[in-house]
Homo-oligomer: A and B are copies of this chain.
Protein backbone atom coordinates (compact mmCIF):
# COMPACT_ATOMS: atom_id res chain seq x y z
CA UNK A 1 0.00 0.00 0.00
CA UNK A 2 1.00 3.63 -0.35
CA UNK A 3 3.87 4.36 1.91
CA UNK A 4 5.30 7.77 1.36
CA UNK A 5 3.52 10.97 2.19
CA UNK A 6 3.29 12.32 -1.29
CA UNK A 7 2.12 9.11 -2.85
CA UNK A 8 -0.57 8.88 -0.15
CA UNK A 9 -1.78 12.31 -1.17
CA UNK A 10 -1.98 11.30 -4.83
CA UNK A 11 -3.99 8.25 -3.88
CA UNK A 12 -6.51 10.09 -1.77
CA UNK A 13 -7.09 12.67 -4.51
CA UNK A 14 -7.59 9.98 -7.15
CA UNK A 15 -9.92 7.99 -4.90
CA UNK A 16 -12.02 11.08 -4.34
CA UNK A 17 -12.14 12.18 -7.97
CA UNK A 18 -12.03 9.07 -10.16
CA UNK A 19 -13.97 5.86 -10.57
CA UNK A 20 -11.91 3.48 -8.48
CA UNK A 21 -14.46 0.85 -7.60
CA UNK A 22 -15.33 -2.26 -9.53
CA UNK A 23 -18.29 -4.52 -9.01
CA UNK A 24 -18.51 -8.26 -8.85
CA UNK A 25 -18.02 -9.10 -5.17
CA UNK A 26 -20.59 -11.82 -5.68
CA UNK A 27 -22.73 -10.64 -2.78
CA UNK A 28 -25.56 -9.92 -5.21
CA UNK A 29 -25.54 -13.64 -6.01
CA UNK A 30 -25.95 -14.52 -2.36
CA UNK A 31 -29.56 -14.33 -1.22
CA UNK A 32 -30.76 -14.98 2.27
CA UNK A 33 -33.93 -16.97 2.72
CA UNK A 34 -36.47 -14.78 4.51
CA UNK A 35 -37.73 -15.87 7.92
CA UNK A 36 -41.27 -14.55 8.25
CA UNK A 37 -41.52 -15.72 11.85
CA UNK A 38 -38.24 -14.71 13.47
CA UNK A 39 -39.44 -15.24 17.06
CA UNK A 40 -37.01 -12.68 18.40
CA UNK A 41 -37.12 -9.03 19.42
CA UNK A 42 -35.07 -7.03 16.98
CA UNK A 43 -33.70 -4.75 19.65
CA UNK A 44 -32.55 -7.70 21.73
CA UNK A 45 -30.48 -9.22 18.96
CA UNK A 46 -26.90 -9.65 20.07
CA UNK A 47 -24.59 -8.29 17.38
CA UNK A 48 -21.42 -8.62 19.42
CA UNK A 49 -18.54 -10.78 18.34
CA UNK A 50 -14.98 -11.27 19.49
CA UNK A 51 -11.76 -10.72 17.63
CA UNK A 52 -8.73 -12.26 19.36
CA UNK A 53 -10.63 -12.15 22.64
CA UNK A 54 -11.62 -8.50 22.22
CA UNK A 55 -15.36 -7.82 22.03
CA UNK A 56 -16.77 -5.82 19.15
CA UNK A 57 -20.26 -4.36 19.46
CA UNK A 58 -20.86 -5.17 15.81
CA UNK A 59 -18.77 -7.42 13.57
CA UNK A 60 -17.47 -4.50 11.54
CA UNK A 61 -13.94 -3.41 10.80
CA UNK A 62 -12.80 -0.01 9.57
CA UNK A 63 -10.13 -1.29 7.22
CA UNK A 64 -6.54 -0.06 7.03
CA UNK A 65 -6.43 3.23 5.20
CA UNK A 66 -4.36 6.14 6.24
CA UNK A 67 -1.73 7.82 8.36
CA UNK A 68 1.74 8.91 7.37
CA UNK A 69 1.04 12.50 6.45
CA UNK A 70 0.11 15.31 8.82
CA UNK A 71 -3.08 16.04 6.97
CA UNK A 72 -4.40 12.52 7.53
CA UNK A 73 -4.47 13.05 11.29
CA UNK A 74 -7.95 14.51 11.08
CA UNK A 75 -9.25 11.50 9.19
CA UNK A 76 -7.73 8.99 11.56
CA UNK A 77 -9.02 10.90 14.57
CA UNK A 78 -12.57 10.85 13.26
CA UNK A 79 -12.38 7.14 12.45
CA UNK A 80 -10.88 6.27 15.82
CA UNK A 81 -13.34 8.34 17.85
CA UNK A 82 -16.16 6.65 16.02
CA UNK A 83 -14.64 3.20 16.51
CA UNK A 84 -14.38 3.93 20.21
CA UNK A 85 -17.95 5.20 20.41
CA UNK A 86 -19.62 2.44 18.42
CA UNK A 87 -17.34 -0.39 19.41
CA UNK A 88 -15.84 -1.57 16.14
CA UNK A 89 -12.29 -2.46 15.14
CA UNK A 90 -10.08 -0.13 13.19
CA UNK A 91 -6.85 -0.39 11.27
CA UNK A 92 -4.42 2.33 10.31
CA UNK A 93 -2.73 2.62 6.94
CA UNK A 94 0.79 1.42 6.26
CA UNK A 95 3.13 2.55 9.04
CA UNK A 96 6.21 2.54 6.86
CA UNK A 97 6.48 6.31 6.95
CA UNK A 98 6.01 6.22 10.71
CA UNK A 99 8.72 3.61 11.14
CA UNK A 100 11.24 5.06 8.73
CA UNK A 101 10.83 8.81 9.02
CA UNK A 102 11.33 10.80 12.15
CA UNK A 103 8.72 13.51 12.11
CA UNK A 104 6.47 14.47 15.03
CA UNK A 105 3.55 15.70 12.93
CA UNK A 106 3.67 12.68 10.71
CA UNK A 107 3.81 10.33 13.69
CA UNK A 108 0.81 12.02 15.19
CA UNK A 109 -1.23 10.94 12.19
CA UNK A 110 -0.86 7.39 13.59
CA UNK A 111 -0.69 7.93 17.31
CA UNK A 112 -3.88 9.96 17.26
CA UNK A 113 -5.90 6.77 16.91
CA UNK A 114 -5.01 5.37 20.31
CA UNK A 115 -5.50 8.76 21.94
CA UNK A 116 -8.94 8.99 20.37
CA UNK A 117 -9.83 5.36 20.96
CA UNK A 118 -8.36 4.13 24.20
CA UNK A 119 -10.56 1.02 24.31
CA UNK A 120 -11.12 0.16 20.68
CA UNK A 121 -9.54 -2.77 18.94
CA UNK A 122 -6.87 -1.07 16.85
CA UNK A 123 -4.39 -2.70 14.54
CA UNK A 124 -1.29 -1.54 12.80
CA UNK A 125 -0.16 -2.12 9.21
CA UNK A 126 3.00 -3.00 7.35
CA UNK A 127 3.56 -4.43 3.91
CA UNK A 128 4.67 -8.02 3.46
CA UNK A 129 7.53 -6.75 1.32
CA UNK A 130 8.77 -4.55 4.20
CA UNK A 131 9.00 -7.59 6.45
CA UNK A 132 12.00 -8.62 4.41
CA UNK A 133 13.82 -5.43 5.39
CA UNK A 134 12.53 -5.17 8.95
CA UNK A 135 13.35 -7.28 11.95
CA UNK A 136 10.78 -8.08 14.59
CA UNK A 137 11.79 -5.02 16.59
CA UNK A 138 10.88 -2.70 13.74
CA UNK A 139 7.44 -4.22 13.67
CA UNK A 140 7.21 -3.90 17.43
CA UNK A 141 7.87 -0.19 16.88
CA UNK A 142 4.77 -0.11 14.76
CA UNK A 143 2.82 -1.98 17.43
CA UNK A 144 3.93 0.43 20.13
CA UNK A 145 3.23 3.46 17.92
CA UNK A 146 -0.50 2.94 18.34
CA UNK A 147 -0.47 0.44 21.19
CA UNK A 148 -1.86 -1.99 18.66
CA UNK A 149 -4.03 -4.97 19.54
CA UNK A 150 -2.86 -6.67 16.37
CA UNK A 151 -0.80 -6.04 13.27
CA UNK A 152 -1.99 -6.32 9.68
CA UNK A 153 0.51 -7.46 7.08
CA UNK A 154 -0.73 -6.40 3.68
CA UNK A 155 -0.24 -8.16 0.37
CA UNK A 156 -0.52 -5.88 -2.62
CA UNK A 157 1.68 -7.28 -5.33
CA UNK A 158 -0.65 -6.43 -8.16
CA UNK A 159 -0.63 -2.79 -7.10
CA UNK A 160 3.14 -2.83 -6.90
CA UNK A 161 3.32 -4.41 -10.35
CA UNK A 162 1.30 -1.56 -11.83
CA UNK A 163 3.45 1.13 -10.25
CA UNK A 164 6.45 2.20 -12.33
CA UNK A 165 8.45 2.30 -9.08
CA UNK A 166 6.73 -0.70 -7.46
CA UNK A 167 8.35 -3.28 -5.24
CA UNK A 168 7.83 -6.46 -7.20
CA UNK A 169 9.95 -8.85 -5.22
CA UNK A 170 7.59 -11.28 -3.53
CA UNK A 171 10.23 -13.82 -2.58
CA UNK A 172 10.51 -14.91 1.00
CA UNK A 173 7.29 -13.21 2.09
CA UNK A 174 5.67 -16.32 3.41
CA UNK A 175 8.68 -17.18 5.52
CA UNK A 176 8.85 -13.64 6.85
CA UNK A 177 5.15 -13.82 7.71
CA UNK A 178 5.65 -17.13 9.48
CA UNK A 179 8.49 -15.60 11.43
CA UNK A 180 6.53 -12.54 12.51
CA UNK A 181 3.51 -14.69 13.33
CA UNK A 182 5.58 -16.65 15.79
CA UNK A 183 7.61 -13.82 17.30
CA UNK A 184 5.44 -10.73 17.47
CA UNK A 185 3.84 -9.70 20.75
CA UNK A 186 0.40 -9.29 19.18
CA UNK A 187 -1.65 -11.41 16.77
CA UNK A 188 -1.26 -10.82 13.04
CA UNK A 189 -3.82 -10.48 10.31
CA UNK A 190 -2.64 -11.09 6.76
CA UNK A 191 -4.70 -9.02 4.39
CA UNK A 192 -5.00 -8.50 0.69
CA UNK A 193 -5.94 -5.08 -0.63
CA UNK A 194 -8.59 -5.81 -3.24
CA UNK A 195 -7.65 -8.98 -5.13
CA UNK A 196 -8.62 -11.64 -2.64
CA UNK A 197 -7.14 -14.69 -1.01
CA UNK A 198 -7.64 -18.05 -2.68
CA UNK A 199 -8.17 -21.36 -0.92
CA UNK A 200 -4.57 -22.32 -1.73
CA UNK A 201 -3.11 -19.10 -0.34
CA UNK A 202 -5.33 -19.33 2.72
CA UNK A 203 -4.04 -22.82 3.38
CA UNK A 204 -0.45 -21.64 3.22
CA UNK A 205 -1.24 -18.76 5.58
CA UNK A 206 -3.01 -21.12 7.97
CA UNK A 207 0.03 -23.37 7.89
CA UNK A 208 2.18 -20.33 8.68
CA UNK A 209 0.07 -19.87 11.82
CA UNK A 210 -1.24 -16.40 11.04
CA UNK A 211 -3.99 -15.39 13.45
CA UNK A 212 -6.47 -14.08 10.91
CA UNK A 213 -6.98 -13.56 7.20
CA UNK A 214 -8.65 -10.47 5.75
CA UNK A 215 -9.57 -11.41 2.21
CA UNK A 216 -10.02 -7.93 0.66
CA UNK A 217 -11.39 -9.55 -2.46
CA UNK A 218 -12.33 -8.32 -5.90
CA UNK A 219 -15.38 -6.07 -6.22
CA UNK A 220 -14.55 -2.92 -4.29
CA UNK A 221 -11.68 -0.44 -4.40
CA UNK A 222 -9.28 -1.32 -7.19
CA UNK A 223 -5.67 -0.43 -6.54
CA UNK A 224 -4.80 -1.54 -10.01
CA UNK A 225 -7.28 1.06 -11.23
CA UNK A 226 -5.93 3.74 -8.89
CA UNK A 227 -2.35 3.17 -10.00
CA UNK A 228 -3.51 3.29 -13.59
CA UNK A 229 -4.84 6.81 -13.06
CA UNK A 230 -1.61 7.77 -11.32
CA UNK A 231 0.42 6.33 -14.19
CA UNK A 232 -1.72 8.28 -16.65
CA UNK A 233 -1.00 11.47 -14.74
CA UNK A 234 2.75 11.04 -15.20
CA UNK A 235 2.47 9.83 -18.79
CA UNK A 236 3.46 6.24 -18.03
CA UNK A 237 1.33 4.79 -20.82
CA UNK A 238 2.29 1.16 -20.45
CA UNK A 239 1.53 1.07 -16.72
CA UNK A 240 -1.71 2.90 -17.38
CA UNK A 241 -2.76 0.14 -19.77
CA UNK A 242 -1.66 -2.70 -17.53
CA UNK A 243 -3.54 -1.09 -14.65
CA UNK A 244 -6.73 -0.88 -16.68
CA UNK A 245 -6.37 -4.48 -17.87
CA UNK A 246 -6.13 -5.78 -14.32
CA UNK A 247 -8.74 -3.39 -12.91
CA UNK A 248 -11.12 -6.18 -11.94
CA UNK A 249 -8.56 -8.91 -11.29
CA UNK A 250 -8.93 -11.18 -8.34
CA UNK A 251 -11.05 -13.62 -6.42
CA UNK A 252 -14.52 -12.13 -5.86
CA UNK A 253 -14.99 -11.28 -2.20
CA UNK A 254 -17.86 -13.72 -1.65
CA UNK A 255 -15.88 -16.60 -3.14
CA UNK A 256 -12.73 -15.61 -1.30
CA UNK A 257 -14.62 -15.47 2.00
CA UNK A 258 -15.93 -19.00 1.54
CA UNK A 259 -12.58 -20.36 0.43
CA UNK A 260 -10.58 -18.71 3.18
CA UNK A 261 -13.12 -19.67 5.85
CA UNK A 262 -12.72 -23.29 4.83
CA UNK A 263 -9.04 -23.03 5.68
CA UNK A 264 -8.95 -20.66 8.65
CA UNK A 265 -11.42 -19.98 11.43
CA UNK A 266 -10.78 -16.26 11.72
CA UNK A 267 -11.58 -14.56 8.44
CA UNK A 268 -12.45 -10.93 7.85
CA UNK A 269 -14.39 -10.32 4.65
CA UNK A 270 -13.65 -7.10 2.82
CA UNK A 271 -13.41 -5.67 -0.65
CA UNK A 272 -16.64 -4.09 -1.86
CA UNK A 273 -18.57 -4.62 1.37
CA UNK A 274 -21.01 -1.74 1.09
CA UNK A 275 -23.82 -2.29 3.58
CA UNK A 276 -24.75 -4.06 6.76
CA UNK A 277 -26.50 -6.59 4.54
CA UNK A 278 -23.18 -7.37 2.86
CA UNK A 279 -21.66 -7.76 6.32
CA UNK A 280 -24.45 -10.19 7.20
CA UNK A 281 -23.84 -12.18 4.03
CA UNK A 282 -20.12 -12.23 4.77
CA UNK A 283 -20.80 -13.67 8.21
CA UNK A 284 -23.17 -16.28 6.80
CA UNK A 285 -20.47 -17.28 4.31
CA UNK A 286 -18.09 -17.88 7.19
CA UNK A 287 -16.48 -14.56 8.08
CA UNK A 288 -16.02 -13.37 11.63
CA UNK A 289 -16.51 -9.75 10.60
CA UNK A 290 -16.91 -7.58 7.53
CA UNK A 291 -14.53 -4.77 6.71
CA UNK A 292 -14.98 -1.57 4.70
CA UNK A 293 -12.38 0.97 3.63
CA UNK A 294 -13.39 3.44 0.94
CA UNK A 295 -16.95 4.06 2.16
CA UNK A 296 -15.49 5.55 5.37
CA UNK A 297 -13.40 8.11 3.56
CA UNK A 298 -16.09 10.71 2.90
CA UNK A 299 -17.69 10.62 6.38
CA UNK A 300 -14.21 10.72 7.94
CA UNK A 301 -13.60 13.94 6.07
CA UNK A 302 -16.78 15.34 7.60
CA UNK A 303 -15.90 14.37 11.15
CA UNK A 304 -16.57 11.89 13.92
CA UNK A 305 -20.33 12.33 13.95
CA UNK A 306 -20.64 11.42 10.29
CA UNK A 307 -18.58 8.28 10.82
CA UNK A 308 -20.67 7.29 13.84
CA UNK A 309 -23.80 7.89 11.83
CA UNK A 310 -22.55 5.71 9.00
CA UNK A 311 -21.56 2.96 11.45
CA UNK A 312 -24.99 3.11 13.08
CA UNK A 313 -26.61 2.74 9.69
CA UNK A 314 -24.45 -0.28 8.92
CA UNK A 315 -25.30 -1.71 12.33
CA UNK A 316 -29.04 -1.25 11.76
CA UNK A 317 -28.80 -2.84 8.33
CA UNK A 318 -26.98 -5.81 9.82
CA UNK A 319 -29.47 -6.03 12.66
CA UNK A 320 -32.35 -5.94 10.22
CA UNK A 321 -30.83 -8.77 8.21
CA UNK A 322 -30.37 -10.73 11.42
CA UNK A 323 -33.95 -10.02 12.40
CA UNK A 324 -35.52 -11.25 9.16
CA UNK A 325 -33.32 -14.33 9.06
CA UNK A 326 -34.27 -15.12 12.63
CA UNK A 327 -30.73 -14.77 13.92
CA UNK A 328 -30.55 -13.78 17.57
CA UNK A 329 -26.76 -13.68 17.54
CA UNK A 330 -23.82 -13.54 15.19
CA UNK A 331 -23.42 -17.23 15.90
CA UNK A 332 -26.99 -17.82 14.64
CA UNK A 333 -26.37 -15.69 11.57
CA UNK A 334 -23.57 -18.06 10.63
CA UNK A 335 -26.21 -20.79 10.33
CA UNK A 336 -28.76 -18.69 8.43
CA UNK A 337 -30.20 -20.15 5.24
CA UNK A 338 -29.01 -18.66 1.97
CA UNK A 339 -28.57 -19.57 -1.66
CA UNK A 340 -25.67 -18.78 -3.97
CA UNK A 341 -26.72 -18.14 -7.55
CA UNK A 342 -25.34 -17.11 -10.92
CA UNK A 343 -21.70 -16.61 -11.72
CA UNK A 344 -20.68 -16.95 -8.08
CA UNK A 345 -22.21 -20.39 -7.92
CA UNK A 346 -20.49 -21.30 -11.17
CA UNK A 347 -17.16 -20.12 -9.79
CA UNK A 348 -17.57 -22.21 -6.65
CA UNK A 349 -18.67 -25.27 -8.60
CA UNK A 350 -15.62 -24.99 -10.85
CA UNK A 351 -13.32 -24.60 -7.91
CA UNK A 352 -14.71 -27.70 -6.23
CA UNK A 353 -13.76 -29.86 -9.22
Contact = CB atoms under 8 A, between A and B. Distances in A.
A345 interface: yes
Contact of A346 (B161, B169, B218, B341): B341
A33 interface: yes
Contact of A195 (B158, B205, B324, B337): B324
Nearest to A158: B324
Contact of A172 (B34, B39, B42, B250): B39
Instruction: Please give me the 9 A-B residue pairs with the lowest Cβ-Cβ distance, nearest first.
Output: A42-B168, A339-B350, A36-B155, A41-B169, A38-B170, A34-B250, A34-B195, A341-B346, A33-B198
Interface string A197-212: 1101100110000000
A342 interface: yes
Interface of A: 31-43, 128, 155, 157-158, 161-162, 168-174, 192, 195-198, 200-201, 204-205, 218, 238, 241-242, 245-246, 249-251, 275-277, 309, 312-313, 316-317, 320-321, 323-324, 337, 339-343, 345-347, 350-351
A37 to B, nearest CB: 5
A68 B241 CA distance: 34
A88 to B, nearest CB: 17
A37 B312 contact: no
A341 B341 contact: no
Given A36-B195, A42-B168, A242-B320, 15 more contacts: A32-B249, A33-B198, A34-B195, A35-B198, A36-B155, A36-B157, A37-B128, A39-B173, A43-B168, A238-B309, A238-B313, A242-B313, A245-B275, A339-B347, A345-B350
